């Protein structure tokens, strides 16, 4: 466990200068950075904007993966689409229903982009940007408006007084997705062009920060694969799969000089006290 925590801590520190976190914190966007080379593909950085939007603290988010934001209405097909993009080490943009810490569901535009090592072409991180999608006026459930109106006008019938107008206004202002009991959540939402542009701009800004701070360490990164993956390099999807195996083991490549270790499990690192960065 200590080895896992150490790798999460070093995920940014080993590739970028220590000031990278401060600059990332200054960005106004809601985003996370994950490391596919660590078992479980955990979040290694969460922006203040993301923490505010989700209701989680940084301690609750870092070290976990995206599953903690999913719920009963999260579309599994969309989740599989994201996993497929990770396996193929490519960017993806989807509409996704996630859940805040208090259980409130919300629709967002999720755009993910890989960060490549300029030296060997391997994926070192994934950037995930989340842009909340504004609620559509028309719900897919035809009975939604009627249900909410019944709640509102029922309140007025129960209590005919000077406060009834205030109560009516309050109820009608509620987001029907989350406050009307028994009303289905919208089937889907479509992001506007402005929301799509916000996500794309955020990705570029984050990549710019990571690129700048990687130059100072000499372990440069880029948003597009700058070179072919080096021989013996394990891709991110295989890394994730191997990370689920709890036994102590290593993989070596007999086709490379001196047969180097190309993968070591977390159990092996903990057993030997070794570190692979």
Q: What is the pLDDT of residue 127?
A: 98
CA dihedral 5, 241, 200, 224 (to 10 degrees): 100
| DSSP-based three-state secondary structure for 77 | helix
> Residue 79 has which token pair?
């989740």
Q: How far apart are the first and last CA of the chain?
A: 16
Q: Which residues of 215-239 are buried (b: 16+ CB within 10 A; e: fewer)?
A: eeeebbbbbebeeebeebbbbbbeb
- Supply the pLDDT for residue 237: 57
Phi/psi at 17 (5° precision): -70, 165
Name which residue leads in pLDDT, 247 or 273.
247
Strand partners, 109: 95, 131
Cβ atoms 105, 178 nearer than 8 A: yes
Confidence tier at 231 by pLDDT (50, 70, 90): very low
222 strand-pairing partners: 116
Q: Please report which helix (H) or strand (E) contains residue 80, including its range.
A: helix 76-88
Write down the mean pLDDT value for the chain: 80
Question: For domain 2-134+188-229, which CATH number applies: 1.10.645.10, 3.30.450.20, 2.60.120.590, 3.40.50.1970?
Answer: 3.30.450.20
- pTM across the whole model: 0.69
Q: Which residue has the higher pLDDT, 234 or 27?
A: 27
State the Cα–Cα distance between residues 108 and 236, nearest whole angstrom: 25
Instruction: Return the structure tokens found at 194.
Output: 């402005």
Question: 181: alpha, beta or left, given left = phi > 0 and alpha = psi -120 to 50?
Answer: beta
Could you tell me how many residues make up the chain? 277
pLDDT in tens, 87-141: 999 999 999 999 999 999 999 999 999 999 998 889 999 999 999 998 755 444 4
Q: Domain spans of the chain?
A: 2-134+188-229, 144-179
Segment 48-76 shows an average pLDDT of: 95
- Tell me what the mean pLDDT of segment 154-166 comes to: 43
Cβ atoms within 10 Å, residue 119: 14
Question: Residue 48 above 90 pLDDT?
Answer: yes
Q: Which residues contact 109 (CB under 8 A, 6 or more apart)?
A: 93, 94, 95, 96, 130, 131, 132, 133, 191, 195, 196, 199
Query: What whole-number percentage of the chain has pLDDT above 70?
Result: 71
pLDDT at 174: 45
Give the model's confidence band at 2: pLDDT under 50 very low, under 70 low, under 90 confident, else very high.
Answer: low
CB-based contacts of 220, cutoff 8 Å, min separation 6 = 117, 118, 119, 211, 214
What proportion of the chain, given as a percentage, has pLDDT over 90? 53
Residue 172 has pLDDT above 60, yes or no: no
Question: Largest alpha-carbon pair distance within the chain?
Answer: 86
pLDDT at 257 over 90: no
pLDDT at 233: 56
Cα angle: 59, vertex 63, 67; to 5 degrees? 105
Above 90 in pLDDT, residue 238?
no
CA 163 to chain centre: 43
* Confidence at residue 141, expressed as pLDDT on a 0 to 100 scale: 47
pLDDT band at residue 12 using 50, 70 and 90 as cut-offs: very high
Burial class (CB in 10 A: 0-12, 13-18, 19+), 164: middle
Q: Which residue, among 260, 203, 167, 185, has the nearest Cα to 29 in the 3D structure?
A: 203
For residue 142, give both structure tokens: 């035809």
Poorest-pLDDT segment among 77-86, 108-117, 174-183 = 174-183
60 pLDDT higher than 90: yes
- Give the confidence band of 28 by pLDDT, cuts at 50, 70, 90: very high
Q: Which pLDDT score, from 0 to 100, does residue 147 have?
A: 42
Lowest mean pLDDT among 51-55, 90-94, 170-174, 267-271: 170-174
Whether residue 146 has pLDDT greater than 70: no
pLDDT at 262 over 60: yes
């Amino acid at each position: 466990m200590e080895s896992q925590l150490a790798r999460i801590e070093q995920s940014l520190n080993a590739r970028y200068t220590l000031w990278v976190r401060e600059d990332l914190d200054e960005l106004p966007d809601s985003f996370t950075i994950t490391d596919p080379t660590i078992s479980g593909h955990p979040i290694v950085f969460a922006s203040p904007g993301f923490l505010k939007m989700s209701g989680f603290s940084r301690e609750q988010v870092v070290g976990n993966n995206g599953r903690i934001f999913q719920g009963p209405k999260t579309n599994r097909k969309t989740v599989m689409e994201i996993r497929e993009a990770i396996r193929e080490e490519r960017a993806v943009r989807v509409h996704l229903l996630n859940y805040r810490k208090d259980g409130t569901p919300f629709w967002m535009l999720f755009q993910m982009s890989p960060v490549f090592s300029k030296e060997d072409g391997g994926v070192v991180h994934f950037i995930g940007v989340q842009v909340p999608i504004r609620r559509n006026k028309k719900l897919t459930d035809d009975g939604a408006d009627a249900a909410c109106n019944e709640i509102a006008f029922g309140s007025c019938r129960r209590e005919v007084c000077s406060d009834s107008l205030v109560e009516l206004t309050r109820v009608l202002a509620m987001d029907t997705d989350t406050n009307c009991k028994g009303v289905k959540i919208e089937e889907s939402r479509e992001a506007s062009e402005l929301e799509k542009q916000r996500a794309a701009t955020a990705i570029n800004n984050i990549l710019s920060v990571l690129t700048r701070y990687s130059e100072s360490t000499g372990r440069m990164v880029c948003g597009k694969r700058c070179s072919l993956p080096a021989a013996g390099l394990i891709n991110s999807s295989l890394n994730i799969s191997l990370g689920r195996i709890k036994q102590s083991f290593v993989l070596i490549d007999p086709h490379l000089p001196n047969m180097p270790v190309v993968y070591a499990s977390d159990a092996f690192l903990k057993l030997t006290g070794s570190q692979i960065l």
